[in-house]
Amino acid sequence: MMGMAKVSVGTRFRRVPMYLFCLLALCAAPLHGQATGTLTLEVTVQSSISLVFESAPGGCVLDNSGTNNVGLYLGYAVFTGGGSYTGCGTMAKLSGGRYQVSTPFQVVVNKSNSSSPSYRLSSWLAALPPTDVSWVLNPDGNGNGTVLSTTQQYYETANAYGRRTEVLAVQVKNPVPQQMLGATINFMATAN
Amino acid sequence: MQRQIAILFVLMLSVASLRLHAQNNASGVINASLTNKAGISLLFQSDSTGVALIGASTSTAALDFGRVSRFMAAPSQGVTLSRTSSAFSVSSTFATYVDIGGVTSPGYSLSASLLNVPGLFTYSIDGKPLSDANTVQISNGSPYKQNVAHTVSITIPAGAPAGNVSNTINFIATAN
């Protein structure tokens, strides 16, 4: 064992200059063959939310569903005392000589990089409807809901992010003359 | 006495003659030498389709994506934005310019690593995710003396808090 130890120690000492040479060579090589540089990246991440409309099961199919600018064609409705209707929505007779055509649709609001717990939803018409015509959101069985005007109304104040179903209705009184009833309805979701 | 004066006069003339001779003939030698060492340099350049670099044409540049958000309509010029269901990414092109002298090399390899821990964010060069723990090879055999375009991107999860995000990418160009 002692002999082996002596041989081993001697070998180590003989190898020391070789190790040093190798280390020096390794250290020197990158200086000749490498170049370095740094690229610093900066970005400012801001909170944001998105709003898109989607067709609701059982409701009318939206044109361009999945976007924030959709079309909704409710069909033909005729007031004949009890009401008759050909379209994708639901027709109902209301008090006061009115009828209503309605359909559910979905509003999808998502957040990103935000600690906001909820959002509020507002809506308004781009232009006033004809007399005796009303556009209503989320009517109850009697047709009572948020009657839209050209003034922005916050009608839901603490919605959870994600998908929720809303109902859009148009209510028409008996004396309204035959015509195409159209409306552009603006929606805005605002993070709380 | 006169003889001594004469000798002194002769000696003075001799010394004067020697000094005149020394002023008219001076010589020297410069032994000059230069060790031409092999060297390689790395510079960053702006790419025409990307964000203009701060400190372009140097080896210490910066790229500012500006203000970005997942649902923004359009990012600033040079920034490309893409979205997934749970995150969004901003990217930009830039170029590396590597030159070499004193050695024959057919090309260089480029590798990169992050200076700081990336945290929630994913930094990539040409689609290759970077790490602060390992160096990742970006390319191999890239040509010298020309701009080589790369794409740098940051992926930001939707759950990450808003605010400023910064990190530094260390690049190493190695002669092949």
Q: Is B62 on the interface with A (CB under 8 A)?
A: yes
**Would you state the structure tokens that stand for residue A89, as one six-digit string?**
């929505």
In this prediction, residue B34 carries a pLDDT of: 81
Chain B residues near residue A34 by CB distance under 8 angstroms: 40, 172-175
Counted across chains A and B, CB pairs separated by less than 8 A come out at: 146
Chain A residues near residue B62 by CB distance under 8 angstroms: 39-42
Contact B100, B39 (CB under 8 A): yes
* Residue pLDDT, tens place only, B89-113: 999 999 999 999 888 899 999 999 9
Contact A137, A149 (CB under 8 A): no
Contacts of B13 (CB under 8 A, 6+ apart): none
- Tens of each residue's pLDDT in chain A, 192 residues: 233 333 233 334 344 444 444 344 443 344 458 999 999 999 999 999 999 999 999 999 999 999 999 999 999 998 875 558 889 999 999 999 999 999 999 999 999 999 999 999 999 999 999 999 999 999 999 999 999 999 999 999 999 999 999 999 999 998 899 999 999 999 999 999
Give the nearest partner residue to B69 out of A39, A110, A112, using CB atoms.
A112
Q: Do B123 and A43 touch (CB under 8 A)?
A: no
- Whole-angstrom distance, CA of residue A59 vs CA of residue A57: 5
A89, exposed or middle or buried, with CB in 10 Å at 0-12, 13-18, 19+?
buried
Contacts of A124 (CB under 8 A, 6+ apart): A148, A149, A150, A151, A152, A153, A185, A186
Give the nearest partner residue to B44 out of A37, A50, A115, using CB atoms.
A37
Q: Do A41 and B59 touch (CB under 8 A)?
A: no
* Residue pLDDT, tens place only, B125-152: 999 999 999 999 999 999 999 999 999 9
In 3D space, the residue among B115, B108, B125 whose CA is nearest the CA of residue B176 turns out to be: B108
Give the nearest partner residue to A113 out of B60, B160, B175, using CB atoms.
B160
Q: How many CB atoms lie within 10 A of CB B39?
A: 16
- Whole-angstrom distance, CA of residue B170 vs CA of residue B174: 13
Q: Is A43 on the interface with B (CB under 8 A)?
A: yes
Which among A42, A69, A108, A161 is the top mutation candidate for probing chain B, defined by the most B β-carbons within 10 Å of its own β-carbon? A42
